[in-house]
Amino acid sequence: MKSLPSDFCSRKVAVLDLSESKIEQLWGSHNNKVLENLMVLNLHGCFNLAAVPDLSGHQALEKLVLEHCDKLTKIHESVGSLSSLLHLNVRDCSNLIELPSDISGLKKLESLILSGCSTMKELPESIGRMKSLKELLLDGTAIAILPESIFHLTNLEKLSLNGCKLFKRLPQFIGKLCSLKELSLNHSALEEVPDSIGSLENLEKLSLMCCKSLNRIPDSIGNLKSVSSFFINGTGIKELPRSIGSLSNLKHLLVGDNHFLSKLPDSIGGLDSIVELKMDGTAMTDLPDQICSLKVIQKLEMKKCESLGTLPKSIGSMLTLTTLIISEANISEMPESIGMLENLIVLRLDECKQLHKLPTSIGNLKSLQQLLMNETAVTHLPESFGMLSSLMVLRMAKKPHVELLDNSAPKFLLVALQREI
């Protein structure tokens, strides 16, 4: 079906779902139909839809879905005056260039989804009048700056600019978004974070993953008392601000793949709520003793930390730890206090090639279920090893090592040696 029948005009229709159809137009410009009770119009995946008709008469409309309408280049101006609209989704409309210049009539709009509109370069200045807006998703757009009026969106709870390759800076007034709970700029071109970010008192999640041009986090980050998740893995930062220890509600901290990050601040011990700390692929040489003060931590992960030479002697103080993962590190031994980790379930030491022995206290790990230590230098296990009553998985494999015979040796002999090993 390429269009609706000419006699289609049911005034009682509340939901019109034409998703995944071959519709090209709803009704012609000469025939301005009005479905007075229409609340939901779903045109998801209508790849042939070239234009949205005049919807000015549909003042009961609450939800308009234009997702994956690839031929759309613009949206009818009437959409900007739909006073009852709550949800507008134009995700992945790859040829959509702009929104209506005046969207100030969307007084009740709560969710605006523009993710995947890869040719959209800017938002209209009138967006600041959408006082009810709670969610603004701009992932994968060509937007480089946010309009100044955006700081009027005092009810905005989620702002996402993931994959925005032209977006380099957050505006200084970002701190005025007093209701913001989630701010995400993963894989963007972000170069700096303004000091005003510390004013976001209600922020719960800050995600800056793979912002490779970002090399500094402002001290004001310590003012984010509500933040529970902070992800900065894959950035260019060289150090964490000391103020990070003030994030008393922080539960998840990911700083992995920051190849210039060589140490944690001593203030890390102030993270009273942290349950997960991941530092994969960093240049850490050691960990501050204060890390052992983390009261509720459950997972500590340090994969591919080739410079890590020692662990704190008091690591056994982390009594709530259930998972300890260290791989490709330069450690030669584990602290004796590790036997105090009575809740430890997973211990992974893969490819720690300098590790030549396990502490005698390891037998005290009554909860340990998985011990993974492939490619280490350990040749003997302590007598206490047999006390690991909960152990279910043990991996200590080493790659086969074959002394090459001279070229005159028969090939079948080489194969036989390899099989025997």
The residues with which 157 forms a beta bridge, in sequence order, are none
pLDDT band at 417; cut points 50, 70, 90: very low
pLDDT computed for residue 157 by the predictor: 98
Q: Decide: helix, strand or coil at residue 265.
A: coil
Amino acid at 26: L
pLDDT number for residue 28? 59
pLDDT of the residue at 30:
55
Could you tell me the domains of the chain? 1-167 (3.80.10.10), 303-421 (3.80.10.10)
In the predicted model, what is the mean pLDDT of residues 186-210? 97
Structure-model confidence comparison of residues 196 and 409, the more confident one: 196
Lowest mean pLDDT among 15-29, 66-80, 244-258, 330-344: 15-29
Residues 6 or more apart in contact with residue 360 via CB below 8 angstroms = 336, 339, 382, 383, 384
User: What does the pLDDT read at residue 418?
Assistant: 43
Q: What is the pLDDT of residue 65?
A: 98
What percentage of the chain exceeds 90 in pLDDT?
Answer: 86
Predicted local distance difference test score (pLDDT) of residue 36: 87
Residues 247-258 have a mean pLDDT of: 96
* CA distances to 267, 282, 287, 339, 361 from 313, in Å: 18, 21, 10, 11, 13
Place 347 in a pLDDT band, splitting at 50, 70 and 90. Answer: very high
Residue 421 pLDDT exceeds 80: no
pLDDT at 412: 46
- Residue spans of beta strands (DSSP E) within 169-275: 182-184, 205-207, 229-231, 252-254
Average pLDDT, the chain: 92
pLDDT at residue 415, as a whole number: 43
* pLDDT at residue 29, rounded to an integer: 53
Short-list 213, 205, 220, CA closest to 235: 213
Q: Average pLDDT of 124-142?
A: 96
pLDDT score of 185 more than 80: yes
**CB contact at 8 A, 335 and 361:** no
Please report the DSSP string for 64-116 in residue order.
Answer: EE-TT-TT--B--GGGGG-TT--EEE-TT-TT--B--S--TT-TT--EEE-TT
What's the half-sphere exposure (Cβ side, CA atoms, 13 Å) at 94?
5
DSSP 24-40: SBSS-TTS----TT--E
Judged by average pLDDT, the poorest of 16-30, 308-322, 355-369 is: 16-30
- The average pLDDT across 228-247 equals 96
- Look at residue 186 and tell me whether its pLDDT is greater than 90: yes
Distances (CA, A) of 181 to 14, 195, 203, 225, 419: 33, 17, 4, 12, 58
pLDDT > 70 in the chain, percent: 94
Lowest mean pLDDT across 25-29, 275-279, 394-398, 417-421: 417-421
Query: In this predicted model, what pLDDT tens digit does every residue of 279-337 receive, in sequence order?
Result: 999 999 999 999 999 999 999 999 999 999 999 999 999 999 999 999 999 999 999 99
Residues contacting 410, CB < 8 A, separation 6+: none
Does the pLDDT of residue 53 top 90, yes or no?
A: no
Find the range with the poorest average confidence among 21-30, 76-85, 161-170, 296-305.
21-30
Q: What is the mean pLDDT of residues 84-100?
A: 96
pLDDT of residue 34: 81
